[in-house]
Chain A
Amino acid sequence: MLTERVEAIRRNYVEAKPCISYQRALIWTQSHQRTEGQPIAIRRAQAFYDCCDLLPVNIFEGELIVGAIGEFRKCGILTPEYSWLWVDREMDHFDTRPQDPYVMTAEQRAFVREHIFPYWKGQSLEEAFLARVPAETAKIVVDTGIVDNDSKWRQAVGEVTPDYQDVLFAKGFGGVAAEARAKLAALGDTDADSLDKADFYRSVILAAEGIVRFANRYADEAEKLAAAEADPVRREELRAIAQNCRNVPANPPKTFHEALQFVWFTQLGGILSENPLALNPGRFDQYMAPYYEADIQAGRLNEAQAQELVDCLWLKLSEWVWTISANTADYFAGYNQFQNLTVGGKTREGLDATNAVTYLALKATEETRTHQPGLSVRVHQDCPPEFLGAVTELVSKGTGFPAIHNDAVGYQMLLNAGYEPQDAKDWNNCGCVVPHFRKTGEWTAAVNVNFGSALEYALNEGRSLLTGELMGLPERAASNFATFDEVKEAFFRQFANLCRHSITATLVAQKLHQELVPRPFLSATIEECLASGRDLSQGGAKYNVGPVITGIGLAVVANSLAAIRKLVFDDRTTTLAELCAALRADWDGFEELRQSALVAPKYGNDDDYVDTLAIEIANWYYREIHQYRDVFGNPFNTAFMGISNYIPMGRVLGATPCGRRGGDPSSEGVSPYVGSDCSTPLAAMRSAAKVNQEIHSGGTLLNLRLNHELVATKRGQANLGAMIQTFFALGAFHVQFNTISSQVLRQAQAHPEQYRDLLVRVAGYSTQFVNLSRSMQDAIIARTEHAEF
């Protein structure tokens, strides 16, 4: 049961439209105007400090956890230092764009165009990337849907798990600043390395002092409001808020409430500094439990009060929006910032990790039905039955949460990436499904690669089917391929070319981030950065893991190669020439051939004929990507995630031999192509589990849809728990379930105003269904419903 207060905050969250605030951008710009000539790390830290000092303080009604990034309750900020070109191009249509609209008034837009953008002309990361990326790579990488990494040059990297355990809760930001001062004092000034480190430590001091200043201003405001407050209950609450903000985040927290407020200040600092995706709360139940236990023992708090506070944090996490371009919004749909919060699993010592806070977190997601945090769970084979029961019960509520992960495979993925075993055991999820750890620098979502394009170029002489342009390597006509192996060779040749461009684009972006946008605030939350005197962007973390290249369309390509092998080479019912003509015609006039293609073996039905192709493609992809090294000399990594990438990538892909029409969505993660897993979810699981998941250290994602009736009862949930454990025993990493009937979803399409709190999984996360564009909604409805009678 939500308290009245939380219900009121929740209602506002559901109903409020996301508004853009330019306050942060204005302060950031004016600060940079004042610091011309200074080292970039200092300039950015100073701009952050100035935001903390000057951004208007907003305490909203009934809040127990405070801190806002702008004047609106549901708010997004602008970060012109990364990109302003797309904002300039798109903001006149912010409120009418189909995916993730924002409200921005004409006055706001005029102001921003006059007072903010001009300063950043020629200065932004986006412009530097576009100027620097080689033309050949740009052709395939910039807004094409073939190889896409715009979230790494129109945005900051994000993708950080702050270290609450060893840094923030242990020292407070005051302690971090003190440590940085001591390090600074100990440095000489006669070697180049020390000069860089000095800049870094100064930037950390500024950032740490900034967030403390911000908190103190909230303490001031809370005291002011308390003095004027007539209601004695609210007055006490405001006084407590003031006290919390005086103590944290300067000092280690003393209570559960302070710890939660500290977490939110850390998020705020991250948001103000770079508008990040995937700024992860991490293993929340592990670092919050001691405060909870102490408060309960001392009688300072009861469980209901603790629940209410956690609910409040969930709402704060959900009230800000990630401001992104329409292109990025296609890939990361649903106002989602991917703040991943992971509970359960094992401790560093290998014991079961579930505790009271684990259940507070599960309950908060169930009751608030907010789209953030991205709740993930780690399930091990011997986890407490009540934990697995609570997980499956949450699944049955139909929010799409939690994302369910195999404890042992996450551990294995980190071991494969070079982590020490204890650290590997301590893993959390980053953003989507990527296994991560709080002492890490990693681009966990560096590039998306459209597998379908590789096949298209192989079959169409290197050309795009939709535009006719030569986008891949020149290739002979497909009618010349005499064997299936020749088809595969051509496919892998084109595929290698796309991989090459994804590497180039990432290296250019990595270098630019190092040059232009160091990250003092977030670096201050990472232990080894402080110890080594190096920013995250300079590889200061203990672990620097190679960037993750995500493959989109594994099922489509496996299905297509299977169809070619079956129809052309095994059954000989068609020739490659005829098949390619059918693809060029988008199947018009080739209906019979299309039907044959549609009934050829499909991945997701536990059929080795096609599943072995999926395995071959995935293994090849791993080896190909892994041979490349990033700016730190670390091997690149692979992943099969989803988010909503498969929709824009499908849009630029012509018809494919599996029977898919041109422009239709591709496939996501290791999930079957929508509607083609016509057997049971068990078969889909079997197919997915074959794909050697543990080598793809960027994570592997499987989305399944279950009819609600299947999981509505305790018995149904027990069956679901068994399915999950079996799937994990087969070696898989992740699964998540949508359990809403398509009937409800169609109703939501027709009457969005009545379904604003309806959450749905959209690959890798959950969001409000009514916030999705029509095509996204249709794609979800079409996802196979597995109902057995």
Chain B
Amino acid sequence: MPSSDPSSGWVMNIQNFSVNDGDGIRTTIFLAGCAMRCPWCANPEGGSLRNPMTKLMSVDEVVSQVLRQLPFLRVSGGGVTFSGGEPTFQTGFLRALAGPLYDAGVGLAIETCGTFSYLDVADVLAKMDQIFMDFKHPDPAAHLRWTGRPLDLVLENLRHVRESGADYVVRIPVIAGVNADSETITRMLDILADACPSAKLEFLPYHKLGFAKYEALGKPTPAGFETPADADLAEYQKMAVQRGLEPISYR
């Protein structure tokens, strides 16, 4: 392991008692920084390392906070989920955190938007029990316009993850105004059916719970995005099943 891994990094939040980010009771570590610029993001404070809502914390500080939760994590079959922002953005800090937690026997999961350079993070991903990877839009031009990063990179990383044999879940944020229409979802599901047949898949309906954070950062709140109707979501689940994919939910 490179000894140049930082002993501290930028943290948005350490959220205990997370029950929607993997199995059991988990502690979610939200790490700041992200290469994408999705306008609907519910964690806008993750867009930059240093802002009023992030804090520089040492590896020891974070790890000891997490270990306080160990009894609850163990008995429930839970663990830690790395999220953010994009947890691989501060690659060294992520590695420095994953190491001791892995050694302590804590279950690990990661929620990523798939914009990493695979070779840089392969060793960290190998420590994860579960990898949640976002897939936001099937059209390369639209993907670039919405997220600021190329679709190809995401799909290539999805391939790496699948080939590594890891337990992974593809996560589709379903947003009316972006991708929540039959045609777009069909294209996404077709891509997945081809690239990772019978993969697990989680639909995440858009929500506005992060609005207060935009206000706290002095930024305008997102406009033009809505939560899809339950009937539409049900339809998308059916379409996924038809293509041999496996919709799951941690709700």
A binding-site residues for B, Cβ under 8 Å: 606, 679-683, 686, 709-710, 713, 715-716, 718-719, 722-723, 725-726, 729-730, 786, 788-789
Contact = CB atoms under 8 A, between A and B. Distances in A.
A786 B18 CA distance: 11
A710 B19 contact: yes
B24 interface: yes
B148 to A, nearest CB: 26
Contact of A719 (B19, B69, B209): B19
Contacts of A722: 24-25, 72, 75-78
A729 B17 contact: no
- Most-contacted residue by chain B among A682, A710, A716 (CB, 10 A): A682
A729 B24 contact: no
A732 to B, nearest CB: 12
Contact of A788 (B19, B68, B71): B19
B15 interface: yes
Contacts of A713: 251
Contacts of B78: 719, 722
Nearest to A710: B19
- Most-contacted residue by chain A among B16, B24, B72, B250 (CB, 10 A): B72
Given A719-B24, A719-B25, A722-B25, A682 B207 contact: no
A540 B93 CA distance: 69
Contacts of A680: 16-17
Contacts of A606: 68
A710 B76 CA distance: 14
B110 to A, nearest CB: 19
B144 to A, nearest CB: 30
6 contacts: A606-B68, A682-B25, A722-B78, A725-B75, A788-B20, A789-B207
B24 to A, nearest CB: 6
Contacts of A719: 19, 24-25, 76, 78
A786 B17 contact: yes
Interface residues of B, number: 21
Given A719-B76, A723-B25, A729 B20 contact: no
Contact of A686 (B68, B207, B251): B68
Contacts of A788: 15, 17-20
B196 to A, nearest CB: 24
A465 B15 CA distance: 41
Contact of B69 (A682, A718, A725): A682
Contacts of B75: 722-723, 725-726, 729
B248 to A, nearest CB: 11
Contacts of A718: 24, 76
A361 B250 CA distance: 31
Interface in B182-224: 207, 209
Interface string B221-251: 0000000000000000000000000000011
A361 B16 CA distance: 34
A682 B69 CA distance: 8
A789 B24 contact: no
B84 to A, nearest CB: 16
Nearest to A680: B17
A723 B18 CA distance: 12
A682 B19 contact: no
Contacts of B18: 788
A730 B70 CA distance: 12
B54 to A, nearest CB: 19
Contacts of A725: 75
Contact of B19 (A683, A716, A726, A729): A716
A725 B75 CA distance: 7
Contacts of B24: 718-719, 722
B76 A682 contact: no
B17 A681 contact: yes
B40 to A, nearest CB: 16
A758 B225 CA distance: 38
Contacts of A715: 250
A725 B77 CA distance: 12
Contacts of B19: 710, 716, 719, 788
A726 B16 contact: no
A682 B20 contact: no
A767 to B, nearest CB: 28
Given A686-B68, A709-B251, 5 more contacts: A682-B69, A719-B25, A726-B71, A726-B76, A788-B18
Interface string B6-23: 000000000111111000
A608 to B, nearest CB: 11
A788 to B, nearest CB: 6
A682 B17 contact: yes
Contacts of A786: 17
A673 B77 CA distance: 30
A730 B68 contact: no
Contacts of A681: 17
- Most-contacted residue by chain A among B15, B16, B18, B77 (CB, 10 A): B16
Interface string B61-96: 000000011011011111000000000000000000
Given A722-B25, A722-B76, A679 B16 contact: yes
A741 B18 CA distance: 19
B16 A682 contact: yes
A718 B76 CA distance: 7
Contacts of B17: 680-682, 786, 788
A726 B73 CA distance: 9
A682 B71 CA distance: 10
Interface string B35-75: 00000000000000000000000000000000011011011
Contacts of B15: 788
A709 to B, nearest CB: 8
Nearest to A709: B251
- Most-contacted residue by chain B among A679, A680, A681, A729 (CB, 10 A): A680
Nearest to A681: B17
A367 B68 CA distance: 39
Given A681-B17, A722-B77, A723-B76, A789 B71 contact: no
A788 B30 CA distance: 15
